[in-house]
Amino acid sequence: SVPYEENAEKKPESGENKSFVRNPEVASGNTAGEVKNRDLRDSTAGEIHSGPGDMEEKNRNLQDSTAGLLVFVFDDGGHNLKDLTPIVNLPFPVTIAVLPGLGYSVKAAELVRQSGKELLLHQPMQAKNLSVDPGPGAIKPGMGYSDIVDLLIDNTNQVGPVVGMNNHEGSLITEDPMAMQAVLEFCRDRGLIFLDSRTTTGTVVPEQAEVLDMEFLERSVFIDNIQERESIVSSIRDGMNIAKNKGSAVLIGHVWCQSIADIILDIYPEILDQGYKITTLTELLNYKESGEESL
């Protein structure tokens, strides 16, 4: 399995399209939690929105897949729209997490929804390295329960409607039981998915979720920590092996990794040929809640 390292998410080095969020600002929003409870038989989450016809036909037949479920999540949307274009044009379902408070946060979220892809709030949280600014709208040490809830309302109002959220950075905050209780109760009460990006081995999300009697999802592998083709392909295959053994895998990449869409398209036929189903967090959570994750 993939080691869960603190701050495992590698940041881009430089350049306009690879700018890493240092000062996000938060916004706000109502959520679309009802999607979570949509009956899988009526769900359109697995439909293809673009792409070659033969791939489309293969993906339609993935309902009978037994290899495992794969969910591709792309973090750090909101810096610009250029980086999002190849991601939203992928010919299978993907999930895109948009940061709050950036110049293109609202437009990026609108583009994701218009494309038919799944949308998350990429919620900034403080890392253990206090010199790292997670950006505007971040959950910081010392914030009280109500402060966190108010912040999340603002952020989801700006980016939403969303189906859920995952943490941006957050190795410090995801180890804080009170902070994560606030985050998880916010998600539970609004029917939102929480995806733990697992930037620390000490995350308290599993314990807090158990106390609250709620399901959550977690990252299986970061696929672009090393932004080289061989490493990305290897990481995707790691995710496929995890899905084969455990029933599912959540693979997180980043919109600023400019080669990632083309690399995934190249390996897409292999994924289909081996019988995996590429799906969404919403459908994966529905499988988990119905006890059908073991394929």
DSSP per-residue codes, the chain: -----TT-SPPP-SSGGGPPPSS-----B---GGGGG--GGG--TT---SS-HHHHHHHHGGGG--SEEEEEEEEEETS-STTTHHHHTSSS--EEEE-SSSTTHHHHHHHHHHHT-EEEEEEEE--SSTTS---TT-B-TT--HHHHHHHHHHHHHHH-S-SEEEEEE-TTGGG-HHHHHHHHHHHHHTT-EEEE---STT--HHHHHHHTT---EE--EES-SS-SHHHHHHHHHHHHHHHHHHSEEEEEEETT-TTHHHHHHHHHHHHHHTTEEEE-HHHHHHHHHHT----
pLDDT digits (tens, 9 = 90+) for 230-289: 999 999 999 999 999 999 999 999 999 989 999 999 999 999 999 999 999 999 999 887
Q: Per mean pLDDT, which range of 55-64, 156-165, 184-193, 202-211 is the poorest?
A: 55-64
- Residue range 34-64, pLDDT digits in tens: 223 322 222 222 222 333 344 444 444 434 4
Confidence bin at 292 (pLDDT 50/70/90): low
Query: The pTM is what?
Result: 0.79
